[in-house]
Structure 1
């Protein structure tokens, strides 16, 4: 999706580091603001009962999701991280400490979700291919038909930070090569700039 105009802008935006100086209600959010707009569009459309977020970090994006849920008067967030960094507290947020790619942590997450609940999953923790692929194998099971498995930072190596390859994009390609229940949603490229190219995966089959 990167043409001659978009690729230099990707590199300029990413290398500027401004994405690390972006805040939601005073809490740092390590995301592209255009992806945050996409997130609120998705949440408004789907109104998921549960959002599972792997990778809390400082919790700014978790608070953003909770704020949108407040506006919708619906939804809660389960956010998983290997460290407790004292993230912002909110009634709609449950924080779990653990390795998001471990079976033990996945079972803890799954046990707190009722079978009838509509679930959306966001993967934004360790960005190595091995870790992301393991997360995808586990958490795709939770995603409801018509909802999304969102793999963050597929921009790594495509075109930024090639030294970090193989990364999330490679995990996405491997997963899709083995699983026909998900498809890349090309409508989520509409703003041209996204940190998650080919990372918005729509579940189309039970």
Structure 2
């Protein structure tokens, strides 16, 4: 860790204890939810329904972890797939520079695998027409359908370093089943990121037309899944013990995030 890194870490710890700053961040999250603030951004031309802070955190994680496969449950307009693919493409480029080789972007094995119960035709067409489409594969179907889960697990076996992102149906039961299915695919040192845990922390009136609410959302699913792992140790798909922990340092750094307690690092 460099002196600058140590300075950043100390500042993050201090910010997390700053009640005024944390309160302002929480107030912004509540104030910005109903106006659909997170719908206003894009990634390389495709809409991405995320807060900019989480977008920054995800590109940092992908660059640091350097996964061979990013599994994303939830596609929508495809902006997150494109963002993940763009960072994988930059990793390919950096590897080629380091190795002194010529980059052929069509031959890289690094991929993003998106899953969605309903990939609308106009979104699918736009994703497939994107210059980074060669790095993106998609499966249409429920992320917890056993047939879909089996397909994803089979694909993941061909990759050494895997990252998982869960951002589809936000009910407790659905996310819990996603965690049971896909968290074991996360490689050691990599992350399983669960979005929209913020539902537990804002008033139910923020989601009047949705099936999720306080007590029934991704955060409660994360908490239950981690308890399950403690009560009954499990193995990852790599045959090694599966141990996940909430990386509080990420949410402490961001302060504005929809994924508090959702950045899960596999030890």
Settle same-fold status: TM greater than 0.5: yes
1:155-188 per-position Cα deviation (integer Å, ceiling 9, x unaligned): 1131253653211011011001111411000111
1:187 and 2:249 correspond: yes
Q: Partners of 1:175 and 1:104 in 2: how far apart?
A: 22
1:110-131 per-position Cα deviation (integer Å, ceiling 9, x unaligned): 1112355110000001000010
1:159 and 2:221 correspond: no
Larger of the two Rg values belongs to structure: 2
Q: Partners of 2:143 and 2:223 in 1: how far apart?
A: 20
> Equivalences for 1:45-64 in 2 at 5 Å?
45-64=64-83
- For residues 4 and 162 of structure 1, do their structure 2 counterparts lie closer, same or farther at Cα, with a shift above 3 Å needed? farther
Q: Partners of 1:25 and 1:147 in 2: how far apart?
A: 25
Find the counterpart in structure 1 of residue 225 from structure 2: 175
- For residues 15 and 184 of structure 1, do their structure 2 counterparts lie closer, same or farther at Cα, with a shift above 3 Å needed? same
Find the counterpart in structure 2 of residue 71 from structure 1: 90
Is the contact between residue 69 and residue 162 of structure 2 (CA under 8 Å) also seen in structure 1? yes
- What's the TM-score once normalised by structure 2's chain length? 0.72
Unaligned runs of 5+ in 2: 1-15, 93-107, 231-242
- For residues 145 and 7 of structure 1, do their structure 2 counterparts lie closer, same or farther at Cα, with a shift above 3 Å needed? same
Q: Partners of 2:164 and 2:177 in 1: how far apart?
A: 14
- What's the TM-score once normalised by structure 1's chain length? 0.93
- Of 133-142 and 107-116, the range deviating more from structure 2: 107-116
> Equivalences for 1:72-87 in 2 at 5 Å?
72-73=91-92, 75-85=110-120, 86-87=123-124
**Local SS of the residue matching 1:157:** helix
Identify the structure with the greater helix proportion: 2
Task: Give the alignment's Cα RMSD to 1 decimal.
Answer: 1.7
Find the counterpart in structure 2 of residue 200 from structure 1: 263
Q: Partners of 2:24 and 2:249 in 1: how far apart?
A: 19
Offset of residue 11 of structure 1: 0.8
**Local SS of the residue matching 2:201:** coil
Offset of residue 16 of structure 1: 2.6
Q: Partners of 1:78 and 1:7 in 2: how far apart?
A: 32
Find the counterpart in structure 1 of residue 134 from structure 2: 91
1:50-105 per-position Cα deviation (integer Å, ceiling 9, x unaligned): 00000111111111111111111163101000112233121000000111012211
Offset of residue 12 of structure 1: 1.5
Q: Partners of 2:152 and 2:222 in 1: how far apart?
A: 22
Find the counterpart in structure 1 of residue 184 from structure 2: 141
Unaligned runs of 5+ in 1: none
Given candidates 172, 179, 182, the residue that maps to 1:129 is 172
